[in-house]
Amino acid sequence: MGKRRKVVHNARPAQKPGDSGQKPQGVTKPKPQKQKQKQKQKQKQKQKQKQPQPQRDEPTIPFAPEDKILLVGDGDLSFAASLVEHHYCADVTATVLEKTLEELVEKYPHAAENIAKIEAEDSRVLFGVDATKMAPFVDKKKGSSSGGGKDDGAAAGVMDRIIFNFPHVGGKSTDVNRQVRYNQELLVEFFKRATPSLAPGGTIVVTLFEGEPYTLWNIRDLARHTGLQVERSFKFQASAYPGYHHARTLGVVKSKSGEAGGGWKGEDRAARSYIFVRKDDEARPRPGSSKKRSRAQDDESSDDD
């Protein structure tokens, strides 16, 4: 007899998982697109963590509330008012070039309100003080009277901080070179007159707009020729002085109809303050300041640390 074949009905070949179109239980295959998105998100988070967080730009205040402060050419006196009202400065002497209150108010209508704020805090305003001719502010016990008398050469200055914001002679000439020279002469005479009023360790602070023509004045060199040196410089931030408004030398700008306002606002322009000390003298540290910068560091950098 021949061999009988075994017939298997309905037999199917073994299939690999997935051949039938069904996924094995317990196995999930991630979608490539979602996986890439997750990886990108993780990379972004890591990059954010590595990046340094931006630091808040804190304004530099070059005086302390207890300092004896002299403000020269303070315009409408809004800066002085801010010092006594918001920075709680207890001993401020603000000076203006105008000889009378009437003359001052004619140029700056809000000046009277600022004077009231200044005098309410036991500080004072002096009229008719020329930055190029002002008498030394010295100790009465050692010699001349403060702000008006003649210096006998023996009295010591009493001012801890002397501040001259945005010095300018006004529109004396349309020629740039002449205008630069006039303002240089103003600064040189101011430095000469201000230095005798400084108390030991005191500083002179001058604020100028950045860019030309102000950079042409070469304020650092002018100061060195009068026995001063740059201790440091910093960005002037008008917002640090609530109520302060930049006062132009010619007074409040008015429209054709006579209304005040219009034109550019000085407080919106980039400006820089320079701190000067006598040569070989050390400035008293201001509150919150770290180590004193060297002259070389200040000359090389346009900002403070």
> Per the domain annotation, does 84 fall within a domain?
yes
Where is 286: in which H helix or E strand?
Answer: none
Confidence of residue 48 (pLDDT cuts 50, 70, 90): low
Sign of torsion over alpha carbons 71, 75, 78, 79: negative
- pLDDT mean over 51-70: 82
- 146-155 in b/e form (b: 16+ CB < 10 A) is bbeeebeeeb
What's the Cα-to-Cα distance from 233 to each of 116, 222, 240, 273, 305, rounded to whole Å?
Answer: 32, 15, 16, 6, 10
> Per the domain annotation, does 195 fall within a domain?
yes
Q: With left for phi above 0 and alpha for psi between -120 and 50, is residue 257 left, alpha or beta?
A: alpha
Please tell me what DSSP assigns to residue 246.
P
Pairing of strands 159-165, 91-95: unpaired
- pLDDT in the model for residue 304: 47
Q: Considering the chain, what is the average pLDDT of its residues?
A: 80
Phi, psi for 193 (deg, rounded to 5): -80, -30
> Per the domain annotation, does 28 fall within a domain?
no
Phi, psi for 192 (deg, rounded to 5): -65, -40
- pLDDT mean over 227-234: 96
Query: How far apart are alpha carbons 22 and 92 in whole angstroms?
Result: 88
Q: At which residue do the structure tokens 């005191």 appear?
A: 202
Asked if the peptide bond before residue 30 counts as cis, ω within 30 degrees of 0, the response is no
Show the domain range for 211.
68-284+293-300
| Residue 3 confidence (pLDDT) above 70 | no
Confidence of residue 240 (pLDDT cuts 50, 70, 90): very high
Least Cα distance to 81 among 98, 96, 97 occurs for 96
> Per the domain annotation, does 156 fall within a domain?
yes
CB atoms within 10 A of CB 167: 19
> Per the domain annotation, does 220 fall within a domain?
yes
Q: In which order are the strands placed within the sheet that holds 228-235? A: 124-126, 91-95, 68-72, 159-165, 198-209, 271-278, 228-235
User: Residues 80, 82, 84, 85: what is their CA dihedral angle, to the nearest 10 degrees?
Assistant: 150
> Per the domain annotation, does 16 fall within a domain?
no
68 Cβ neighbours under 8 A, 6+ residues apart: 91, 93, 158, 159, 160, 161, 199
pTM for the full model?
0.71
> Per the domain annotation, does 211 fall within a domain?
yes
For residue 260, give the 3-state DSSP assignment.
Answer: strand
| Residue 58 confidence (pLDDT) above 60 | yes
Instruction: Please report, for the domain that includes residue 174, its CATH number.
Output: 3.40.50.150
Contact present, 279 and 228 (Cβ < 8 Å) = yes
- pLDDT in the model for residue 37: 73
> Per the domain annotation, does 269 fall within a domain?
yes
Least Cα distance to 157 among 203, 214, 98, 198 occurs for 198
Query: What total number of domains does the chain contain?
Result: 1
Contact present, 245 and 76 (Cβ < 8 Å) = yes
88 Cβ neighbours under 8 A, 6+ residues apart: 65
Query: How far apart are alpha carbons 180 and 204 in whole angstroms?
Result: 21
- Which of 74-88, 167-181, 215-229, 255-269 bottoms out in mean pLDDT, i.e. has the lowest? 255-269
- pLDDT in the model for residue 305: 38
